[in-house]
Amino acid sequence: MDDLETLAEAIRTADTAAVLTGAGISAPSGIPTFRGDDGVWDHFDEGQFTYGRFRSDPEGFWADRLELQEAMFGGEYEPNAGHEALAALERDGYLDAVCTQNTDGLHRDAAVAARDGETDAPNVDGEGSVLELHGNARRVRCTDCGRRREGEPIFARAADGELPPTCDCGGVYKPDVVLFGEQLPGAVIQRAQSLARESDVFLAIGSSLVVEPAASLPRRAASSGATVGVINLESTPCDAAVDVVRREDVTEVLPRLRELVES
């Protein structure tokens, strides 16, 4: 049995199966990764996007965030064959959840498309099949009243000079993403950690696996006895601890994996 078949067989026979994805799965959709050649952190200073800076200098934070947002999400982008394969596996009952570090919303788009347009409410409570560990960059949230809103009109107001943009209640809006120095949404990371512990098979896909606590999910799954796979174009710090490593493009390997699982 080749190792992709090993993963397919493990998924087919699993009671619980989950994946963790990172920026690599959205790279073929045209969204830059954070690290590596020409990554976002080559062009921007990570230290400017902390929660501490947002609190002490919301105007400067928002001015920089607009540039980051444009660099990451300024183009047209849509789910690719990798997102689609995972969404189909989830819809067809083979995957319990897709945990993602990405804030681009593409797994949610793929999940909705796989269900012929059925909508999916903002998933911030750890329910549902797409767990956005670092939030969603298409939304903003008021830091006073907690109200979540569609981001685009608020980003447009900020681009027109309203820095920082504020809510009707007078509170400052924050992009609805987890900043450095900020806690992950508790219910979401707790569900992801339970899934990793309970999974019979767990895949880490397109993530450098260096940012905690997400980076520990594959190890947590491995130490609970899961069959664990890493799919990445480059090596990761987790490779030595897992059962299968595939150094391949997500858009090639994930549709093949789906085919093997569902054949």
Bind-site residues for Zn(2+): 142, 145, 167, 169
Backbone angles phi, psi at 122, to 5 degrees: -55, 125
Question: Which residue, 26 or 227, has its beta carbon nearer to ligand NAD?
Answer: 26
Enumerate residues 44-83 that contact ligand NAD by CB under 6 A: 49
**Cα distances (angstroms) measured from residue 258 to each of 88, 179, 218, 253:** 8, 34, 20, 9
Partner from ligand NAD, ligand APR, none contacting 233, C-beta within 5 to 8 A by type: ligand APR
Partner from ligand APR, ligand NAD, none contacting 186, C-beta within 5 to 8 A by type: ligand NAD
The CA dihedral of 248, 250, 253, 259, to the nearest 10 degrees, is: 180
Among 29, 103, 123, 232, contact with ligand NAD (rule: CB under 6 A)? 103
Backbone angles phi, psi at 72, to 5 degrees: -85, -45
Determine the Cα–Cα distance for residues 132 and 199; give it in Å rounded to an integer.
Answer: 18
Task: Please say if 83 is a catalytic residue.
Answer: no
Q: Which residues bind ligand APR (CB under 6 A)?
A: 22-24, 27-28, 33-36, 39, 101, 134, 206-208, 211, 231-234, 249-250
Cα angle vertex 213, ends 209, 219, to 5°? 60
State which residue has the least CB distance to ligand APR.
24
Q: Helix, strand, or coil here: 16?
A: coil
**Cα distances (angstroms) measured from residue 56 to each of 200, 218, 242:** 45, 35, 42
Q: Which of 101, 111, 90, 100 is nearest to 11 (CA)?
A: 90
Question: Which residue, 214 or 245, has its beta carbon nearer to ligand NAD?
Answer: 214
Question: Which residue, 32 or 167, has its beta carbon nearer to ligand APR?
Answer: 32
Among 65, 107, 134, 191, contact with ligand NAD (rule: CB under 6 A)? 134
Question: Which residue, 152 or 259, has its beta carbon nearer to ligand NAD?
Answer: 152
For the annotated catalytic residues, the residue numbers are: 134
Interacting residues with ligand NAD (CB under 6 A): 49, 103, 134, 177-184, 186, 189, 211-214
